[in-house]
Amino acid sequence: MNIYINDLSKYYKNKKALDHITLHLSSGIYGLIGPNGAGKTTFLSILCGLIKNDSGTIEIDEVKFLSDDFYHVFGYVPQSPALYVDLTCNEFLEYICALKSIDKNQIDHTLKLVNLYDQKYIKIKKLSGGMKQRLSIAQAIINDPQILLLDEPTTGLDPIERLRLKNLLRNLSKNKIIIISTHIIQDMDHLAKSLIFFKNGQLLDFKSPQELILSLKQFFYETIVSKNDLQKYIETYHVSSIVPINDDYKIKFFSHKDELFPHCKEINLEDIYLYYYGDVYDKR
Amino acid sequence: MVMFMIKGELYKLLRSKSIKVLFILLLVLNNLQIIYVNYQNIYGDINTGKRKILKIIEGPISQQKYDWLVNYHNTMLEQVNNGNYNTKNKSKNTFSGYVFGDEQISNNLLEDYEYTINYHSSIKNKITILDENIKKTQNSKWKKENIMLKKRLKNRNLSYYYDYTLINNFMNQDFQYLLSLIFCIILVIKLFIYEKQKQTDLYFYISRKQIKKIFISKILMILLFTFISSLLLLIESYLIYYFLGMKNGLFQPLYALSHFMYEPYNISIFFYIVCNYFFRLVGCLSFSYLFLFLCHFLNKEYKGFFIAILIIYISIQLYNNNLLSIISFSSLNDSIYNQKIFMSSLLFSFIILNLNFFTYFLFKRRYYVSIN
């Protein structure tokens, strides 16, 4: 399955939420990266037909996207799990099955997939945060959608639950397009096929993590500075990591200019995030 | 699939602790209100005395019972007129323990008993007046109405006497309908505003083609729960009144009650109560659908509560000032006299239908305008 997004724009009154986005997505996991207000939720909402775009087109397998006809190919996991907490997992999924017009015999299989089968008859309000998130994913995948959209699924989860979630998404990703919106870029490490960077509604970059690391490595430097000089470096450069070494500090920073410092041997996705959005946080 | 959707909506409401607690609270309030209103009719020596006398005279009317009541009343009256009574100490040979008390009770009961005995002759007089009207009137519409009324009043007779004090109170029990209305509005808040607040309405808009079914299942739930809740409140009221002493007379004709003397419909008191229940139910649902329409503009529960209270308050004020005559259907008594029951019902069904249509239209489009 392929999604072709051409020149997609969305405005809220006079504010530009999405600005001429063009993307081609095929099967695999994609990380939609950006700080708050970058346009991630708007992008996902348009894709699953929750809101209408002002201009541009979306084509799925070269067929023009009409939300009413394609609703069954999408599964959407909202930002915070919107669940009916008084219902049991089974009752909730039965209701979702009715909404999606599918047979309810999918429930057991889906609950097993998200590792919640033992909680089938437990009320949702008694589930942990991670379990609720998995149930939220269960409602999205119960109709075996070809495109799965997850809006900040890892927010508020502990490391073990994050790992569990990543494994689940990896298992689900076969022959599916999964778009995960997040501002926690580490979550995409060894998971996403490509990363899509949004900033102020614009597409900044769209590359695989390896390509990004290779192309941006040249802008990162590392050096050892004394405690007295540390503050000066922080103010001058975008410092992405500070590691204390005895009385000094080993810092990693990026600069668009050629600096007289040695280049970093390794950079990670957090460094890339800082590269793209460091200025956003500076302004705050 | 629609059944599962309805089942889902049903579970949402049945599993909700707030709905259950609220309903129990409404039942308790209803209970307390009935006891408060009838306190004077249940407790005290006068009521004990009245019940004892009623045991003698209630049931099929007879000359023997009437004579006994007249004699007893005259005896008590004589003692009162002679000043032969004591208001401080109880006297023997009285039902309430007081001569003056028994005189008052027997006087009231005698009036009621005479109404029952004389009903047939009162109707005869009324028919004579109607006959004269039919002869004299030139207006064909009035003539037709008078002929119809005469036909309905003919052959009316009362052969049983019961005390209708508690039945009257039960029939005028409006508080339970106010409670039903509150419950109905809470249902609307739970099924519509709460979903927006918790963002669970997202699932409806993703499912796209199902929106109509979702809306219908929610409307059905409001209908079903309002019906059941108001029925339970009515049954509760009936049971309380039953335990307070309203054991007989429910299946007597409506005209057995003095203020329904010339009531044109030959229905029983019980049937009147059932009709009244359904008409009030329509009134209750009309308000909830009006509120549902306003829900489109609300996304927080507390705003819903505030608006609901405001609507109820304004409606009661308008109704009390006769400005809401359009909802005359909610008072079956008025409607029967005006003979506009069916017209008002049709009009309201039409308004509700249109209101639901617009509400559905807004419901369908809501997400497009409210996100971010």
- Kindly report, residue by residue over A175-220, the tens digit of the pLDDT: 889 999 988 888 888 888 999 999 888 998 898 988 888 888 888 8
pLDDT above 80 for A273: yes
The fold for domain A2-208 equals Rossmann fold (3.40.50)
Using CA atoms, how far apart are residues B209 and B357, in angstroms rounded to an integer? 17
Query: Strand order of the sheet with strand A28-33?
Result: A74-77, A147-151, A177-182, A28-33, A194-199, A202-207
B275-306 pLDDT per residue, tens? 888 877 877 777 777 788 777 777 788 888 88
**pLDDT higher at A238 or B234:** B234
Query: Would you place residue B337 in the very low, low, confident or very high pLDDT band (cuts 50, 70, 90)?
Result: very low
Task: Tell me whether strands A3-12 and A28-33 are parallel, antiparallel or unpaired.
Answer: unpaired
Q: What is the mean pLDDT of residues B76-81?
A: 85
pLDDT above 50 for B45: yes
B5 vs A contacts (CB less than 8 Å): 95, 98-99
Is there a contact between B4 and A104 if contact means CB atoms under 8 Å apart? yes
How far is CA B26 from its chain centroid? 16
Task: Tell me whether strands A3-12 and A238-245 are parallel, antiparallel or unpaired.
Answer: unpaired
A131 closest CA partner among A119, A149, A143? A119
Is residue A49 within 8 angstroms of chain B, CB to CB? yes
Predicted pLDDT at B369: 39
Predicted pLDDT at B236: 93
Is residue A11 within 8 angstroms of chain B, CB to CB? no
Predicted pLDDT at B329: 42
Nearest CA-CA distance, residue B358 and chain A, Å:
21
Q: What is the mean pLDDT of residues B335-359?
A: 60
pLDDT above 80 for A250: yes
Q: Which of A12, A71, A78 is the closest to B207 by Cβ? A: A71
Give the three-class secondary structure for A50: coil
Place of tokens 């009256």: B77
* Rounded percentage of chain B residues whose pLDDT exceeds 70: 86
Predicted pLDDT at B93: 78
pLDDT above 70 for B336: no
Q: Which of left, alpha, beta for A226 (phi over 0: left; psi -120 to 50: alpha)? A: beta
SS3 for chain B is CHHHHHHHHHHHHHCCHHHHHHHHHHHHHHHHHHHHHHHHHHCCHHHHHHHHHHHHHCEECCHHHHHHHHHHHHHHHHHHHCCCCCCCCCCCCCCCCCHHHHHHHHHHHHHHHHHHHHHHHHHHHHHHHHHHHHHHCCCHHHHHHHHHHHHHHCCCCCCEECCCHHHHHHHCCCHHHHHHHHHHHHHHHHHHHHHHHCCCCHHHHHHHHHHHHHHHHHHHHHHHHHHHHHHHHHHHHHHHHHHHCCCCCCCCEHHHCHHHCCCCCCCEHHHHHHHHHHHHHHHHHHHHHHHHHHHCCCCCHHHHHHHHHHHHHHHHHHHHCCCCHHHHHHCHHHHHHHCCHHHHHHHHHHHHHHHHHHHHHHHHHHHHHHCC
Is there a contact between A99 and B204 if contact means CB atoms under 8 Å apart? yes
Predicted pLDDT at A277: 81
Using CA atoms, how far apart are residues B354 and B88, in angstroms rounded to an integer? 66
Is there a contact between A95 and B7 if contact means CB atoms under 8 Å apart? yes
Is there a contact between B206 and A86 if contact means CB atoms under 8 Å apart? no
Predicted pLDDT at A65: 64
The chain A residue lying nearest B211, using CA atoms, is A99
With b for 16 or more beta-carbon neighbours within 10 A and e for fewer, the B169-194 pattern comes to bbbebebbbbbbbbbbbbbbbbbbbb
Using CA atoms, how far apart are residues B55 and B68, in angstroms rounded to an integer? 13
How many other CB atoms are there within 10 angstroms of residue A205's CB atom? Answer: 18
B98-153 pLDDT per residue, tens? 888 888 889 999 998 998 888 888 888 888 988 888 888 888 888 888 888 888 88
B3 vs A contacts (CB less than 8 Å): 98
The chain A residue lying nearest B1, using CA atoms, is A98
Using CA atoms, how far apart are residues A176 and A168, in angstroms rounded to an integer? 13
Is residue A173 within 8 angstroms of chain B, CB to CB? no
Mutate to test the interface with B, among A13, A40, A73, A84 (most CBs of B within 10 A): A84
Quote helix, strand, coil % in chain A, to nearest 5: 40, 30, 30
Is residue A68 within 8 angstroms of chain B, CB to CB? yes
Using CA atoms, how far apart are residues B62 and B318, in angstroms rounded to an integer? 47
User: Residues A260, A216: contact at Cβ < 8 Å?
Assistant: no
User: Residues B176, B26: contact at Cβ < 8 Å?
Assistant: no
With b for 16 or more beta-carbon neighbours within 10 A and e for fewer, the B67-91 pattern comes to eebeebbebbeebbeeeebeeeeeb
Using CA atoms, how far apart are residues A11 and A19, in angstroms rounded to an integer? 8
B150 closest CA partner among B33, B25, B264, B31? B264
pLDDT above 50 for B370: no
Nearest CA-CA distance, residue B251 and chain A, Å:
44
Is there a contact between A82 and B202 if contact means CB atoms under 8 Å apart? yes
How many other CB atoms are there within 10 angstroms of residue B285's CB atom? Answer: 22
Tally of residues, chain A = 284
User: Residues A22, A7: contact at Cβ < 8 Å?
Assistant: yes
Amino acid identity, position A213 = I
Lowest-pLDDT choice from A124-138, A269-283, B17-31: A269-283
Is there a contact between B203 and A17 if contact means CB atoms under 8 Å apart? no
Is there a contact between B4 and A94 if contact means CB atoms under 8 Å apart? yes
pLDDT above 80 for A84: yes
pTM, 2 dp: 0.76
Predicted pLDDT at B30: 93
Predicted pLDDT at B371: 39
- Residue B277: CB partners within 8 Å, gap ≥ 6? B230, B231, B234
Angle between helices B99-136 and B45-57 (to 10 degrees): 60
Q: Which of B199, B206, B214 is the closest to A71 by Cβ? A: B206
The chain A residue lying nearest B2, using CA atoms, is A98
Nearest CA-CA distance, residue B30 and chain A, Å:
27
User: Residues A151, A79: contact at Cβ < 8 Å?
Assistant: yes
Task: State phi, psi for A98 to the nearest 5 degrees.
Answer: -65, -40
**pLDDT higher at A191 or B174:** A191
pLDDT above 50 for A145: yes
A80 vs B contacts (CB less than 8 Å): 199
User: Residues A111, A93: contact at Cβ < 8 Å?
Assistant: yes
Mutate to test the interface with B, among A15, A86, A97, A139 (most CBs of B within 10 A): A86
Q: What is the mean pLDDT of residues A53-79?
A: 78
Is residue A101 within 8 angstroms of chain B, CB to CB? yes
pLDDT above 50 for B65: yes
Q: Which of A42, A48, A98 is the closest to B1 by Cβ? A: A98
Nearest CA-CA distance, residue B196 and chain A, Å:
10
Mutate to test the interface with B, among A80, A95, A104 (most CBs of B within 10 A): A95
* Rounded percentage of chain B residues whose pLDDT exceeds 90: 10
Using CA atoms, how far apart are residues B154 and B264, in angstroms rounded to an integer? 10
Is there a contact between A83 and B214 if contact means CB atoms under 8 Å apart? no
pLDDT above 60 for B23: yes
Using CA atoms, how far apart are residues B340 and B349, in angstroms rounded to an integer? 14
**What is each CA distance from B270 to A112, B168, B180, in whole angstroms?**
56, 12, 20
Predicted pLDDT at B372: 37
Task: State phi, psi for A107 to the nearest 5 degrees.
Answer: -60, -50
- The residues spanned by each domain of chain A are 2-208, 214-281
| Helix intervals (H) in A11-151 | 40-47, 67-70, 89-99, 106-113, 129-141
B233-271 pLDDT per residue, tens? 999 999 999 988 888 888 999 888 888 888 777 888 998
Predicted pLDDT at B332: 47
Predicted pLDDT at B326: 46
Structure tokens at B13: 């409401």
Q: Mind giving me the DSSP string for A141-159? A: HTT--SEEEEESTTTT--H
Using CA atoms, how far apart are residues B249 and B268, in angstroms rounded to an integer? 10
The chain A residue lying nearest B18, using CA atoms, is A86
Predicted pLDDT at B347: 66
The chain A residue lying nearest B372, using CA atoms, is A12
Residues 115-144 of A with CB under 8 A from B: 123, 139
